[in-house]
Amino acid sequence: MEQCMNPFLVLITRILHQFSDLAEADLEFGSSPNLDLGDVALRTFVAAKKLAVAPPQFAQAVVDTVEFGPEVISVSAAGPYVNFKLDRGSFARLIVDSVLSESDHFGSSDSGSEKTMLIEHTSINPNASPHVGRARNAMYGDSLVRLFRFEGYDIDVHYYVNDIGKQIGLLVLHTDDSLDTMSFDNVLQAYVDANNRAKEDETFSEQGYAMLAKMEEGDPDVAAKFNQVTTLCLDGQVAVLSRLGIEYDHFDRESKYLNDPRLDEVVAALEKRDAVFTDEDDRLVVDLSKIGHDRDEGRYFVLRRGNGSSMYGFRDLAYTIDKMEKGADVNLQVLGEDHKLYAEQLALILKAAGKEVPEAIYYAYILLKDGKMSTRQGQVVLLEDFLDEAARLAREKVDEQCVDLSDGEREEIANKVGIAAVRFAILRVNPNKNVIFEWETALSFSGD
């Protein structure tokens, strides 16, 4: 019996031997549309088009001219399909041989072989421990990384670290006296307190913008404090995400793109289109209607504040240009659905400046029963708590069912099962649909 890595290759090889003008990619195998006629079927549309014949004509030619081996009991044509009834024992041995030979590569088509890809995902603000809602981005992005690596792509995984901005400035101001002793576990409450303080004290709120301006001017003391608090948060966040097996190749800090010279090129290109102006508040603003935006919503995009400090979106333009200049064959970014308009605005500006843009992949949110999670308000389910509870419940199940195993073995199994349950609870839902978070259903070890 002929041995082959792909169980369908034994059929494909014999067809290609008879029809030498075809390639493996031209032959599409799948389930038979009529299981009474066969176990698997060849769809002939692509191959017939390449040979410039009608699909039913090519299907009949395969039946009439190709000699198949003992794995095939019978072969018949039905319209554009070639149906194969298989000797299941022989074919099962082919599949087992393929699995043993290819191991965890079994099933890959190597469609990404010799191709590069850049995927940016997660990018949680470095101001608190990650909550379950933010983790959907990370788990979705990591799953894309795993799937594309399985297909043979050489992938660089990027994490955009939002290490500047008013919210970081408020956190630095609020924790100035305790920053040296603050732990990652204390950051969430400090962040909530800082935002509550800003709501009640307008002067304190405005100081957040002042801190950002100092950061942009290159004040070394302010830069050191911003770096200290964001590094504390980032290290803690990455440690939590690593429990899910999520890893990153590059951490790209937003502060790197302050005063990036490539932004001058963007502004110059917009000026040529008469698409940028200074408003009554002395802000630098893009009128997107001049470059293709066709509705009032989102028509204006602010690049710089009146005090000269840059907006997040301005820096994001530089970051996006930097990513695209790395030259990956495929460039993806995972974004929440509320970023669709923002991503559209960025894309219009970049294209107007003659720049390329990454492909955006969107996901909906994980919501609490009473609404959206909010780090600023402290209305969250922390990912770390979710993982701990999943591991605890998994350990209870393992203790019940694996009494003959050692304590260490049961702990290892419980951790793996708990992590798998968390990932499955999030990823099982279509990314375009919201997830309503409930402890009892999220941590259920039964059902689908």
Phi then psi for 177, rounded to 5 degrees?
Answer: -80, -20
On average, the pLDDT of the chain sits at 89
278 and 144 together in one domain = yes
285 and 310 together in one domain = yes
Residue with tokens 């004509």: 57
Of 71, 51, 72, nearest to 61 by C-alpha is: 51
pLDDT band at 4; cut points 50, 70, 90? very low
Task: Provide the 3-class DSSP secondary structure of residue 125.
Answer: coil
Residue 74 lies in a domain: yes
Phi then psi for 416, rounded to 5 degrees?
Answer: -65, -45
* Two structure tokens written together for 107: 């099933």
336 and 281 together in one domain = yes
Q: What burial class does residue 338 get, using C-beta atoms within 10 Å of its C-beta: 0-12 exposed, 13-18 middle, 19+ buried?
A: exposed
Element (H, E) at 276: strand 276-278
Residue 4 lies in a domain: no
Q: Which residue has the higher pLDDT, 28 or 371?
A: 28
125 and 166 together in one domain = yes
133 and 76 together in one domain = no
By DSSP bridging, strand 40-43 and strand 81-86 are: antiparallel
360 and 400 together in one domain = no
The domain spanning residue 51 has which CATH number? 3.30.1360.70
133 and 276 together in one domain = yes
Q: Which residue range is the domain that position 85 belongs to?
A: 9-105
Q: List, for residues 40-89, the tens digit of each pLDDT value.
A: 999 999 999 999 999 999 999 999 999 998 889 999 999 999 999 999 88
**In whole angstroms, what is the distance from residue 231 CA to residue 131 CA?**
18
pLDDT band at 370; cut points 50, 70, 90? low
Tally the domains of the chain: 3
Q: List, for residues 260-306, the tens digit of each pLDDT value.
A: 999 999 999 999 999 999 999 999 999 999 999 999 999 999 999 99
249 and 348 together in one domain = yes
Last residue of a domain, one of 54, 85, 105: 105
Residue with tokens 């594309």: 148
Angle between helices 383-401 and 132-150 (to 10 degrees): 70
Residue 101 lies in a domain: yes
307 and 263 together in one domain = yes
Residue 256 lies in a domain: yes
**In whole angstroms, what is the distance from residue 91 CA to residue 94 CA?**
5
pLDDT band at 3; cut points 50, 70, 90? very low
Residue 53 lies in a domain: yes
User: Is-contact 420 389, C-beta < 8 A?
Assistant: no
24 and 148 together in one domain = no
Residue 173 lies in a domain: yes
62 and 141 together in one domain = no
Q: List, for residues 211-230, the tens digit of each pLDDT value.
A: 888 888 889 999 999 999 99
387 and 295 together in one domain = no
DSSP per-residue codes, 198-230: HHH-HHHHHHHHHHHHHHHHT-HHHHHHHHHHH
**In whole angstroms, what is the distance from residue 107 CA to residue 99 CA?**
9
